[in-house]
Structure 1
Amino acid sequence: MSTRRCSLWPAGAVVVAAMAALLIGEMPARAQDTSAMKKQMLGQWELSTAERSKTCVVTLKNDSTAQGFRLELEPTCAAALPFTKEIAAWSIKGLDIVRLQDAAGQSVIDLTEVESGILEGLRSGEGIYILQNLIAARSLAKSMDQMIGDWSMVRGNGQSICGLTLTNNEATPDNFQLFLKPRCDPAVAGFAPTMWRLERGALLLMAANGAVWRFEADDNAQWRRTPDTVDPLILLRQ
């Protein structure tokens, strides 16, 4: 005589229990991830427009508030970035979102990591803002100062095809003026760049029509146009 074993739990309850077990198993890992990110974020950061034309120093602290953790903004922040007047605290949402929030806990801006030590967030109608380690940001500012001056654009064989001058004169809120010298190669003259900026370690030359040439520093402290070609263009300091 055969016997049938009866489950004490309905099938649906088994599924729910399994899902609950998975969630419980994930909770310690998520808590660890959040704790690690919080520790990584403590300290001084620079909040800025995408190209650092307007900046604000933010100090993220470990002290708890009603809605998150305490922070301090430099007195000049409100003038540089008016929306920072609303920021009262910071918190971590999910696994990788750093939220700068108002006193009620509502987001003023949410930022996510795009590179090590660099977070990016969007404010509707305003554009992209960058949060990065203050020391790294100031190093970038120094790098920008070092870019100002005369440069020569050469081909891979060393033939000079154009001279140009990078200035620190603001062309738009995020870009600086660039001037070509006379007798440039037609390819460069046709491109006709008028502005430049540094963006995440790359040098961008921009034309009035929106065209962009991107250069990256190579091992020889030269700037090579990317993507690379069999006949590369290289920028050399004059």
Structure 2
Amino acid sequence: MMRAVGLALGLLLTAAPAHAQDSATLKKDMVGQWELSTTERSKTCVVTLKPDAAPRGMKLELEPGCAAALPFTRDIAAWTVKGLDIVRLETAAGDPVIDFTEVESGIFEGLRANEGVYILQNLAAARSLAKSMEQMIGDWSMVRGSGRPICSLTLTNNEASTPDNFQAFLKPRCEPPVAGFGPTTWRLERGALLLTAPTGEIWRFEADDNAQWRKTPDTADPLIMLRQ
């Protein structure tokens, strides 16, 4: 939208049909079931976006547990698309409750002041992520690229004091630098495993083709997490 303001009027008029098509396509693509959640799905709500017109915007349905999980959803009565790419959940009067923009295919992010970031994603994809999180729970080994073990840790499903994170525990006799790092929480974020220390330091691991997790950025002597 800001780029369009900076263009000449003639260009704006020329681009208008394409913009309208983009908006129409987004409206069509959004119809269906979505999961509205905190960033790591500790609190979730299923939203069904419908193509039917409401007094303002279009109709939607929220599952019964939404208000308890995410109190701000009590104000949501309709949905619409604003501009080219903003998916808005709004009140019955048409006021915005939260605006989402797509950050990855099928994944939208929205920010509420003084609350934080919320995620809107396809329900089937969200449930696939939940299954992935369940598969992460348990005991893991950290090894070097040579296969030499240097530490063991346990990822749990116990909620940590930090929102949207879960408790992690190092086992005794971990070698440096893992012992010095000392992670206490973990989460999955956009396909990556994040381990966080009390200092706020974060180590990021990404799955590779061998069903193992490698610390990024990669090094000549990589640190790898393997299921025990």
Q: TM > 0.5 between the two?
A: yes
1:169 counterpart residue number = 158
The corresponding residue for 2:3 is none
TM-score normalised by structure 1 residue count: 0.91
Distance 1:156 1:19 in 2: 56
Percent identity for Structure 1 against Structure 2: 74
Identify the residue that residue 127 of structure 2 maps to in structure 1: 138
Does residue 223 (structure 1) correspond to residue 213 (structure 2)? The answer is yes
- 1:28-177 maps to which residues of 2 (within 5 A)? 28-172=17-161, 173-177=163-167
Structure 2 CA distance for aligned equivalents of residues 107 and 59 of structure 1: 18
Q: Which structure 1 segments of 5+ residues have no match? A: 1-17
Runs of 4+ displaced beyond 4 Å: 18-21
Q: CA deviation at 1:19?
A: 5.1
Q: Which whole-Å CA distance do the structure 1 matches of 2:113 and 2:11 have between them?
A: 37
SS at 1:186 equivalent: coil
Partner AA of 1:224 in structure 2: R
Distance 1:122 1:182 in 2: 40
> Are residues 1:232 and 2:203 paired?
no
1:207 matches 2:197: yes
Structure 2: give runs of 5+ residues left out of the alignment.
1-6
Larger Rg: 1
Let me know the Cα RMSD of the aligned residues. Answer: 1.2
**Matched residue of 2:184: which SS?**
strand
TM-score if structure 2 supplies the norm length?
A: 0.94
**Which residue matches 1:198?**
188
Length, aligned pairs only: 221
The residue identity in structure 1 corresponding to 2:148 is: Q
Query: What code does the residue aligned with 1:200 have?
Result: R
After superposition, the C-alpha distances for 1:160-216 in whole angstroms (9 at most, x for unaligned) are 000000011111331111111110012100000000010110000010110100000
Letter in 2 for 1:86: D
